[in-house]
């Protein structure tokens, strides 16, 4: 099947349609039912109390018939939108044939590996191997820890402050946020977190921030009295996500790659949230002309939200014997077909360029709002991976302001999320199929919410 429709036709509407109070009566019933039977660890409905009935493209419809614009895409999972028909057709056909294949060869599996090779960053095309593991990004990170240790014989792991790499034991050790890990210590030993080059937070110019960050890594590895022994690898997000959509200076990732090469350890670039067109390139590594030694992937790799993760790594690291890394769900054939179709859809509809264009528009709109609300102190990101940071005031933290903006947007039909070390960053990561009309309608609501909370309006 060829792509027969443009992404303009994928959605319920081009702007929100709110028919009831928010949340509506049927949503309240399901939310209450969830509170009675579901885990106390449930988080998202406590912030955005919506009960979902169906979704298409960049729109979500709740059980009361209200239609929302989706500006967080399942936290970066639904890059080609909800229920994309081009992807769904192939997924349904594959599901009727076979779904669970472990690591036996199927056309679905091999087609996805070949499609990933075609879009791989840097020098990885035709010089890589791909391994699938468990269904989550955390599983992919665990696999890279094993890969690095197995190939180097080391056990020391380097990660960065502000990092988020997942919630399982090894991935959580690399994750920097204390709130995620303080109740579960001890983590893996010999893990060191060094400063990420966050120039805005550090009050430095970008080059100085990059130079300092690289010097910290270099000294940790090369100073004979740094206290760090037996390194296995460096893990880095090319753009920090949970940390606040922190975009590093241009020279940082190339410099990090050089340090890794000089010390004979792999550079593992976590593309779990930034991959598959999210930043306006296939992978964020492409923006910096860096070749990862290993690249964990998840989230959007399953096409329409089907669970799948994998890691692409340089073929020189392919030293595992049979069973060196395993996982029951490493053969999710419908998800693999979904991944192939999603890659085709992104390419055929030129969604990389579209993400860059619409993302630039969204950032420009946010910067205009910064001229009205002085608490909006930084706008950053690439493509449709966007963060807007808010400063504290005397009577309200930036985190509280982001929550107020988020609630205002929700009540008017736009779903947004947050990020940042103090929860003070508005995170906008809509599907790549978001139309310009939807972007305009959504940003009208988001910017009005930001501007109505300007300090002058509260005097």
Distance CA 22, CA 344 (A): 37
C-alpha distances (whole Å) from 427 to each of 56, 139, 149 are 21, 24, 34
Within 92-238, strands assigned E span 128-132, 156-160, 191-194, 231-236
Flag whether pLDDT at 457 surpasses 70: no
Q: Per the structure block, which two tokens stand in for 393?
A: 């005031």
Cβ–Cβ < 8 Å for 407, 415: no
Label residue 8 by pLDDT band (50, 70, 90).
confident
DSSP helix/strand/coil, 322: coil
Cβ–Cβ < 8 Å for 102, 331: yes
Label residue 456 by pLDDT band (50, 70, 90).
low
pLDDT digits (tens, 9 = 90+) for 194-218: 999 999 999 999 999 999 999 999 9
SS3 of the chain: helix, strand, coil, percent, to 5: 40, 15, 40
Label residue 375 by pLDDT band (50, 70, 90).
very high
pLDDT digits (tens, 9 = 90+) for 42-87: 999 999 999 999 999 999 999 999 999 999 999 999 999 999 999 9
- Which H or E element spans position 255? helix 252-262
What ranges do the domains of the chain cover?
7-77+350-458, 86-348
Backbone φ and ψ for 120, nearest 5 degrees, come out as: -60, 145
pLDDT digits (tens, 9 = 90+) for 248-257: 999 999 999 9
- Taken in order 427, 433, 436, 441, is the CA torsion positive or negative? negative
**Pairing of β 67-70 and β 414-415:** parallel
Number of Cα atoms under 13 Å in the Cβ half of residue 82: 21
pLDDT digits (tens, 9 = 90+) for 116-125: 999 999 999 9
Burial grade of 279 (CB within 10 A; 0-12, 13-18, 19 or more)? buried
Cβ–Cβ < 8 Å for 358, 320: no
- Assigned CATH topology for domain 86-348: 3.40.640
Label residue 455 by pLDDT band (50, 70, 90).
confident
Distance CA 266, CA 226 (A): 20
Backbone φ and ψ for 7, nearest 5 degrees, come out as: -75, -5
Burial grade of 127 (CB within 10 A; 0-12, 13-18, 19 or more)? middle
Query: Taking the model in full, what pTM does it have?
Result: 0.96
Average pLDDT, the chain: 96
CATH class of this structure's domain 7-77+350-458? alpha beta
């Amino acid at each position: 099947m060829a792509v027969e429709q443009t992404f303009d036709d994928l959605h319920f509407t081009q702007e929100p349609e709110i028919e009831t109070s928010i949340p509506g009566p049927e949503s309240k019933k399901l939310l209450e039912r969830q509170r009675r039977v579901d885990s106390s660890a449930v988080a998202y409905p406590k912030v955005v109390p919506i009960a979902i009935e169906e979704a298409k493209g960049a729109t979500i419809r709740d059980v009361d018939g209200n239609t929302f614009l989706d500006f967080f895409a399942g936290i970066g999972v639904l890059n080609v939108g909800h229920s994309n028909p081009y992807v769904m057709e192939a997924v349904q056909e594959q599901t009727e044939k076979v779904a669970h294949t472990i690591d036996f060869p199927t056309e679905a599996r091999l087609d996805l590996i070949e499609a990933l090779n075609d879009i791989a960053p840097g020098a990885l095309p035709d010089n890589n191997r791909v391994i699938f593991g468990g269904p989550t990004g955390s599983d992919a990170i665990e696999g890279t820890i094993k890969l690095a240790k197995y190939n180097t014989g080391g056990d020391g792991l380097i990660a960065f402050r502000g990092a988020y790499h997942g919630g399982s034991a090894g991935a959580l050790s690399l994750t920097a946020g204390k709130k995620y890990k303080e109740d579960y210590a001890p983590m893996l030993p010999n893990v060191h977190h060094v400063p990420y080059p966050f120039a805005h937070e550090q009050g430095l110019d970008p080059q100085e921030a990059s130079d300092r960050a690289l010097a910290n890594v270099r000294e940790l590895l090369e100073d004979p009295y740094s206290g760090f022994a037996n390194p296995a690898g460096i893990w880095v997000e090319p753009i920090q996500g949970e940390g606040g959509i922190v975009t590093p200076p241009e020279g940082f990732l190339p410099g990090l790659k050089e340090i890794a090469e000089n010390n004979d350890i792999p550079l593992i670039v976590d593309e779990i949230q930034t991959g598959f067109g999210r930043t306006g390139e296939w992978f964020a590594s492409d923006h910096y002309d860096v070749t990862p030694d290993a690249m964990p992937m998840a989230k959007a790799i399953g096409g329409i939200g089907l669970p799948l993760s994998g890691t692409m790594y340089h073929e020189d690291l392919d030293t595992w014997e049979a069973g060196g890394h395993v996982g029951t769900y490493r053969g999710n054939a419908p998800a693999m077909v979904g991944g192939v179709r999603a890659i085709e859809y992104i390419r055929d509809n030129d969604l990389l360029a579209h993400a860059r264009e619409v993302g630039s528009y969204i950032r420009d709109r946010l910067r205009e709002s910064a001229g009205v609300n002085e608490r909006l102190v930084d706008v950053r990101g690439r493509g449709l991976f966007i963060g807007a940071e808010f400063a504290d005031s005397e009577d309200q933290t930036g985190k509280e302001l982001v929550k107020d903006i988020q609630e205002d947007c929700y009540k008017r039909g736009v779903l947004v999320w947050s990020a940042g070390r103090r929860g003070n960053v508005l995170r906008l990561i809509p599907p790549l199929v978001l139309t310009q009309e939807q972007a305009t309608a959504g940003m009208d609501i988001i910017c009005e919410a930001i501007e109505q909370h300007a300090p002058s309006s509260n005097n």
